[in-house]
Structure 1
Amino acid sequence: MASHRKPRNSRIRTSHAVGITSAALTSVALLAQTANAAPAEPDKPSLEEVQKKVDDLYREAGTATQKYNLAKERSEQARDKLNGLQDEVAKRTDKVNDARRELGQIAAAQYRNGTASDTAVLLLSDNPDDYFAQRQLMGRLSGQQQKAVEDFQTLQTQANEKRDEANDSLVQLTESEDDLKTSKQDVQRKLGEARQLLSKLTEEEKRRLAELERQREAEAKRKAEELARKQAAEEEAKRKAAEEAAREEAAQEEAAQEETPEQPAEPPASEDDAYAAKAEKVIAFAQSQIGKPYVWGAAGPDSYDCSGLTQKAWAQAGIELPRTTWDQVKVGTTVSVDNAKPGDLVFFYDDISHVGIYIGNGEMIHAPKPGTNVRVESIYYMPIHSVVRPA
């Protein structure tokens, strides 16, 4: 029987097939192009952005270094305290044992004399208080024996207290050492990130970065010279005023002088003179360290971090500064930048993570950062937080 289905339009079928084939080929071609194309490279940071990031990482590493210094100082203090307490515990334990032996002799004597046997237990008990309360045996002892028991109790209590104190100190030491380890890892991580950023620069970029650094130094030097001129003008004005005052005073003294005047006593040294003498020692030491490498956590004699250098320098003048910038900034008197004198400490950044020694003319000696040496630099190279006069 013949089929009643209408035959399909071959022309329509052919056109439709061609259209599908063309679209498929186009898609395949696009996919192939996409597959062969190089992956899109993320936007590369500008050189200025790299410079800022590296500076930020070095500053963060400086902050972590101060945390490390603080943890190290606390760890050393805790260890010294623990060692002292352990020695004290040992001495008190010896005294307790001596007292225990004395009580043993008393108990043995009572046993030989036929006194109640439980007295011996009383005298050798680790907790005589409980036994006294229960049996009330103190009345059986002579006055000298009672004193021996009381001395033993006191020594035993003191030994236990020192033992508890030593245990607490051990806990503090463990916490400080954990902080020390964490801070050390933080410093190393920040410095590693900075090195990685710099290692990706081309030679041309490194040259441009060096030029940006030179421009930054030049601007800092210009500001330092401006401060130096301002301070020099102020000092000159003070000198002239002092000379004028001295001439007027001399004229008044001469008018009131007798025929045989007494020799005037030497005027006492002013506070300025005393400070200048100390500052001279500080700066002389700092100058002798120029060229030595920055090493985080170091305080001499072969290398320094920033607060390690200032601590050692001021020690030459008999002033004991704390170890960290955060504590050093609290020592002495805060003065304005315009009134800074040689020897003053200049602190930087909002987090007070860096410090240098002012030497005049807007310049300082400091230990800058890893990869550099102790050197002279403008105080305007970094944002100033404050200036402190330690003595």
Structure 2
Amino acid sequence: MAAHRKPRQHPLTGPAARTAATLALAGAATATAFEGTGHAEPRLTPAQVKAKVDRLYQDAEVATEAYDATKEKADETQKSVDDLQDEAARKTDRLNIARNALGSIATAQYRTGGIAPALQLMLSSDPQQYLDDAAFEERAGDRTANAVAGVRKQLAELKRLHTNADGRLAELRGQQAQLKRQKESIKSKLDSAQALLSQLTAEERTAYEGQDGARADGSAASRSSRSSASGDSSPTAPDGLLPAPSGRAAAAVAYAYAALGKPYVWGATGPSSYDCSGLTQAAWGAAGVSLPRTTYTQINSGTRVSRSALAPGDLIFFYSGVSHVGLYIGGGQMIHAPHPGAPVRIAPIDQMPFAGATRPA
């Protein structure tokens, strides 16, 4: 039996063992090196960080304008729902009054309905009065029928109001769900931008913040229309810049100057913080002109002007998707709310691709 056993396998020894061990260690080292190379991410240059962050901020601004549009619709829908519910409550009160009136009529008829008309005439102490009362009751019967028809009409109208309110409420819930998704999208893009910026050194971060030559104190551009902020509505042109074309434009520019340094907050319309279209809407609102909420709709408000014909107060739009807006102040400068982390500031209009300009009326 022993002759049929398989020969015992001996571990490698001597030079063969050393060779195998060397190969194994080399393989492990190579594998570790490859693994490290696969997971290591090269540090981005400041220019690469800037390009990525700028793109993320632009995408976030597109999402913010979409959020603003949805928010505006949701606010309108909420008002519609409130109005419908208020109207339904008023009609319910009127319906209850009509129902109570019908109940009183029905009670009175029940109390007298058990006596035959002829017997009522015989028992009456004043037959003529009875006959007069009978004629009145007949006419009252016609009015009762009209009252019943009126109640039915009110019931139908109330049902219609509740149906409309339910439909608008469902629409509102859909808009609120959309707002939630848009908020999450904006937050994700802004978080990614902050993660990239955190890779920069303090010096690089400072250089990034000042890369467009923007200022939050307004020192490099004319403070035209300062006089309008103190009650003088006439356009002025200190520092040799063009005057605003109207008192309203001067007032809008003055408002924008007063907002310098206030933080950018997406979805905000002031007075403590703004997004880009929120700032322009508030500025022209202070001048007595009502602008719509978003860049997409503001560009169609007023008269279109060419870049060469810009005057203080004009709205300037950027990017092919018209996702950013600033308020022109003259001298090739604008006041705008750039993005989170960058307050309302003065900046050159050529730092972004020009998409069009509008002069609100």
Report the TM-score, using the length of structure 2 for normalisation: 0.75
2:246 matched to 1:276?
Answer: yes
Q: Percent identity?
A: 41
C-alpha distance after superposition, 1:54-103 (max 9, x if no partner): 00111111112212222222222222221111111111111111111222
**Counterpart of 1:346?**
316
**Counterpart of 1:328?**
298
Q: CA deviation at 1:281?
A: 0.7
The aligned amino acid for 2:62 is T
- 8 Å CA contact 1:217–1:381 kept in 2: the answer is no
The aligned amino acid for 2:328 is Y
Q: CA deviation at 1:384?
A: 1.3
Quickly say closer, same or farther: Cα 1:51–1:107, change in 2 above 3 A.
same
**Counterpart of 1:241?**
none
Q: CA deviation at 1:216?
A: 4.9
SS at 2:264's partner residue? Answer: coil
Q: CA deviation at 1:32?
A: 4.0
**Counterpart of 2:274?**
304
Alignment size in residue pairs: 300
SS at 1:346's partner residue? Answer: strand
SS at 2:271's partner residue? Answer: coil
Provide the C-alpha distance between the structure 2 equivalents of 1:17 and 1:334, rounded to a whole number of angstroms: 89
Q: Find the partner of 2:24 among 15, 25, 28.
A: 28
C-alpha distance after superposition, 1:118-169 (max 9, x if no partner): xxxxxxxxxxxxxxxxxxxxx9983212211121111111111111111112
- 8 Å CA contact 1:344–1:388 kept in 2: the answer is yes
SS at 1:302's partner residue? Answer: coil
Quickly say closer, same or farther: Cα 1:111–1:274, change in 2 above 3 A.
farther
Q: CA deviation at 1:105?
A: 2.1
**Counterpart of 2:119?**
none
The aligned amino acid for 2:203 is R
Q: CA deviation at 1:29?
A: 3.0
The aligned amino acid for 1:166 is A
Q: Find the partner of 1:372 among 338, 342, 353.
A: 342
Quickly say closer, same or farther: Cα 1:39–1:156, change in 2 above 3 A.
same
Cα RMSD between the aligned structures?
A: 3.0
**Counterpart of 2:172?**
173
Q: CA deviation at 1:273?
A: 9.6
Quickly say closer, same or farther: Cα 1:330–1:22, change in 2 above 3 A.
same
**Counterpart of 2:233?**
none
The aligned amino acid for 1:321 is L
Quickly say closer, same or farther: Cα 1:82–1:371, change in 2 above 3 A.
same
SS at 2:300's partner residue? Answer: coil
- 8 Å CA contact 1:51–1:209 kept in 2: the answer is no
Q: CA deviation at 1:215?
A: 5.8
Name which of structure 1's ranges 312-321 and 41-50 shifts more when overlaid on structure 2.
Answer: 41-50
Unaligned 5+ segments in structure 2 are 1-11, 116-137, 215-220, 222-241
Report the TM-score, using the length of structure 1 for normalisation: 0.70
Q: CA deviation at 1:275?
A: 4.3
Q: CA deviation at 1:109?
A: 2.6
Q: Which has the higher helix share?
A: 1
Unaligned 5+ segments in structure 1 are 1-15, 117-138, 219-224, 226-271
**Counterpart of 2:36?**
39
